[in-house]
Structures are given as structure tokens and as C-alpha cells.
Amino acid sequence: MSRLLIAASLVAAITTTAFADQRYAAPPPEAVAASQPAPVEYPVEAQMRVVMDRQTVRAKLAEQRAANLARFRAYQQGGVFPSNTFDTRRLNVWMDADGHLCAAATIINASGQTDLVQQVAEQTNFIRLADVKQGPLMDWILTSGLTQDEIAAIQEPFMPVVRQQPEIDPKLRAAETARLIKKYKAVDAMIVKSQKASLDRAVDRLMKRQDLAWNLVNG
């Protein structure tokens, strides 16, 4: 055999061996599959999941709203309201000298937040819930199913019921009780009328606090 033929045979053998090595060195199918990028999630599917999450939160808030409205109605029927003996002007009184709670405080207390209600009474008894921006009270509002405006309306400030300290004037007290019953009835009707829109706003706000939303749904 000539030297040229011998050289050609050697080149062919080396090339064949190289191709065989590449074939047997290929990664197993499992490794190939693992290296592939994850399937792309279509926007519509992602939106559906968000909608489902929102619907779940909305349903929970609707339950809370119904429970808190029932508490508000029980408070109205009880007909015992705080007496403003602290100021000659209208004033938000969380708890009066006789331990009577305002409507909002009563609802929060009945929801199980008794320690919070007592803390507010001791530290900020003339608080306006319309001004609350953060903290435990805001957390409660966000999970109440009611909007902050509705809570503020429920927390109607009280007219003074004294002419001369410290005695409560019976006529002023009776007039204030009648005024509050009428006022609460109007607020109740407003809450019922705005059910859908208010729930939507409540959901919008709570969805920005995923921690609270999670606790509400899974608590």
C-alpha cells in the first residue's frame, strides 16, 4: 500500500472516532429537558389568577362588612351613647367617663380587638379615625370591609350634654340621643346603598397590603 493510501486511511479512522465520541458524549435527555427555559406564562392566565385572588379577598371583606354592620345595628338598638362632658364643642369621644364607647370603638371591640380599644381610650381618647394613616387601627380599617370614610361617618362626634360641670343635663342628653339615632340611621342607609362601590374601594386598598390580605384570607 502506498504512503498516500495509508495516510488517507488514518485520517478517515480518526474522523470516524471523533464523530463517535461526540455522539456518545451527548447529554442525556433529562439534562437537556432541565436546561430548557420554563414555559412562558401567558398574560391572560396570570390575570385570571390575580382575579381569583381579588375575588377571594373581596368575599372575605364582604363577610367582615356584614359582621361589622350587624355590630353597628346592635349598637344603634342599644341606644346608649357616650356623653361629651369634656368640651363645649362637638367632640369625638372614644370612651366617656362612664365607660361608654362610641360606635366605631364598639364595633372594633366586638370584633375582638378589646386590648386595642382600651389602649386607644387610654392614649388618644379624642382620636378621629378619619385622620388615621397607619398602625393597628388602620390595619383594622383595611380588613373591616368598610372604607375609612364609612368608619369616620360611623364615628360621629358628640354634642356637649352639660350646662354646668360635672352634671349631665337630662334635656341635652335626650336631645343628643335622638340626634344620634337619626344620624346613625342615615349612615346605616348610606353604607347599604354604597355596598358594591365601597367594597371595591376596600379591596383596592387591602390588595396593596398583601400581608394583611393573606392574614384575612388564611386566618
Produce one character per residue of 28-53: b if its CB has 16 or more CB atoms within 10 Å, e if not. eeeeeeeeeeeeeeeeeeeeeeeeee
Residue 29: the pLDDT is 54
Residue with more model confidence, 86 or 25: 86
* Neighbouring-strand partners of residue 99: none
| Residues forming a β-bridge with 101 | 95
pLDDT at 212: 94
Name residues whose C-beta falls within 8 Å of residue 126's C-beta, 6 or more positions apart in sequence.
86, 91, 92, 93, 94
Tell me how far apart the alpha carbons of residues 205 and 87 are, in angstroms, rounded to a whole number. 35
pTM: 0.76
Question: pLDDT > 90: what percent of the chain?
Answer: 73
Higher-pLDDT residue of 15 and 104 is 104
Q: How confident is the model at residue 48 (pLDDT cuts 50, 70, 90)?
A: very low
Residue 88, C-alpha cell as written in the block: 363645649
Half-sphere exposure of 186 (CA within 13 A, CB side): 9
CA dihedral 111, 139, 217, 113 (to 10 degrees): -20
Q: Which three cell numbers stand for residue 83?
A: 356623653
Provide the mean pLDDT of the chain.
85
pLDDT tens digits along 164-214? 888 999 999 999 999 999 999 999 999 999 999 999 999 999 999 999 999
When comparing pLDDT for 91 and 7, which is higher?
A: 91
d(CA 142, CA 195): 15
Question: Where exactly are the structural domains of the chain?
Answer: 3-35, 43-218
